[in-house]
Amino acid sequence: MQTPRSALVLSSVLSVFVCALPAIAQQTLPPAEGDAPAAAAAAAPAAPPAATAPAIAVKVKEVSLLATVRDKKGQPVNTLDKQDFVLEQDGRAETITQFAHESDLPLTVGILADTGPAQRRAMGEERKAGTDFVNRLLRADKDKAFVLHFDKEVELLQDVTASHDKLAKGIDAISVGDAPRSGGKRDDGNSQTPHYFFGGGLLYDAIFLSDDEVLKGAQGRKAIVLFSDGLDHDSKTSLERAIESAQRADTLIYCVYVAPEREEQQPGNGGGRRAGGGYPGGPFPGGSGGPFPGGGGPFPGGGGGRRRGPDSTHENKTDGKKILQQISNETGGRYFELSKKLTAAQIYEQIEADMRHQYSLSYTPDKAENGYHKLHLSTRNTELTVQARAGFYAE
């Protein structure tokens, strides 16, 4: 039999043991849900070991392109259906999902003129044909246009508008680099004063800024008609980037090669520079820090052309043609050469016919990596020629 004292001692020992149980359990049992943050973190499953992630295919948005089809005689063909076309991306066949005759879509067209002194003799013809083209092509309340010139500067003579009168004034303001912008007598090439003619100007900058700024946000079809000798000097933009800007903007560029005048060497005379300059109005003022010439941006006006002897223009003539051909081919436009047999008015008529007989096609690639992808559009009739852009950029 236990004595009262022994029972008291045993009771005390049991009490201490019972009180110690929670502490023992806390050290040996896993933490319950809702415990302290440190315990919850310790209970979280361990991260799986690092492994090389598989390549992820980018889901590309619908890709659209405009196309013009011509027969052996160069006449537009507008009687084709979706099944008559064959579309390939990077050499793989693609399924055309949307197809339409799109002559009714709104159109925004830019008139870009190289106004270097070497382009002097063609200027009057370009102005008249350009005005007639705009008046014929643009439909009221639907189509718009803008006018831009470039030499040592890039200058927007008329921003995007549907007004025929404003566009006519903008086109009439196209003149060579040493002619006054307003007031005074225009130099139409009849002057007997010799000049040093500089082939080339800010060609690539003009294309880039037209696509990246002027046409930004434009809906429907977009096109540029470019008159130039194809020679660039002092652009901050490369040829590749200029073409890329047009492809990203879905802009067709119709290039018209204008042979530069024969250069004359006469000491004391240089290609003049237009007064003022820059990109007037809007966010690109001539003279404050916008990206167009005339200010402190990345496309500075001034500085400029390199003076060259008469032989260098001859040497660069072929290169200028090839550059314009590349621009038109890769953007889905068309290449022309201005001559007595093919006048500016006739060229504009052919461009107008193209724009009135266009097809719109689109498809959605299943997979495409970021970057540039080649496109090839043809018809099942091998006697027909298809004019469409050569590729697109996946983001």
Q: Please check the confidence at residue 327 and state whether its pLDDT lies above 90.
A: yes
| Confidence at residue 262, expressed as pLDDT on a 0 to 100 scale | 64
Cα gap 162→156, rounded to integer Å: 16
Q: Is the pLDDT of residue 52 over 60?
A: no
| Averaged pLDDT for residues 61-71 | 92
Residues near 331 by beta carbon (within 8 Å), at least 6 away in sequence? 243, 246, 247, 251, 252, 253, 389, 390
At residue 98 the predicted structure's pLDDT band, cuts being 50, 70 and 90, is very high
Whether the per-residue pLDDT at 367 is higher than 50: the answer is: yes
| 209 pLDDT tier (thresholds 50, 70, 90) | very high
Question: How high is the pLDDT of residue 295?
Answer: 36
| CA pseudo-torsion sign 189, 193, 198, 199 | positive
pLDDT number for residue 156:
97
Strand partners, 108: 144, 222
Distance between CA atoms of residues 249 and 332, nearest Å: 12
* CA atoms within a 13 Å half-sphere pointing along the CA-CB vector of 154: 29
The predicted pLDDT at position 109 comes to 97
Tell me: pLDDT of 346 over 60.
Answer: yes
CB-CB contact of 391 with 137 (8 Å):
no
- Among the ranges 28-37, 78-87, 290-299, 314-323, which has the highest mean pLDDT value? 78-87
Average pLDDT over residues 102-117: 90
Cα–Cα distance between 232 and 236 in angstroms, integer? 10
pTM as predicted: 0.70
> What structural domains and CATH numbers belong to the chain?
63-100+361-394 (no CATH), 105-356 (3.40.50.410)
pLDDT score of 70 more than 50 = yes
**For residue 252, how many other CB atoms are within 10 A of its CB?**
27
- pLDDT (tens digit, 9 = 90+) per residue, 130-152? 999 999 999 988 999 999 999 99
Higher pLDDT, 387 or 298: 387
| Mean pLDDT (whole number) for 101-112 | 88
Specify the higher pLDDT residue, 268 or 342: 342
What confidence category does residue 216 fall into, taking pLDDT thresholds of 50, 70 and 90? confident
Residue 382 has pLDDT above 50, yes or no: yes
Exposure letters 216-242 (e unless 16+ CB within 10 A, then b): eebeebbbbbbbbbbbbbbbebebeeb
What number is the average pLDDT over the span 172-183? 64
User: Looking at residue 60, what is its pLDDT?
Assistant: 58
Cβ atoms of residues 197 and 229 within 8 Å: no
> What is the residue-averaged pLDDT of the chain?
75
Q: What is the pLDDT of residue 176?
A: 86
pLDDT number for residue 306: 35
Q: Which two tokens stand for residue 220?
A: 């429907």
CA angle 312, 317, 155 (to 5 degrees): 95
Residue 161: pLDDT over 60 = yes
Show the tokens assigned to 142. 């639907």
Nearest to 246 by CA among 220, 274, 294, 210: 210
Q: Does position 185 have pLDDT exceeding 80, yes or no?
A: no
Asked if 277 contacts 297 with a C-beta cutoff of 8 angstroms, the reply is no
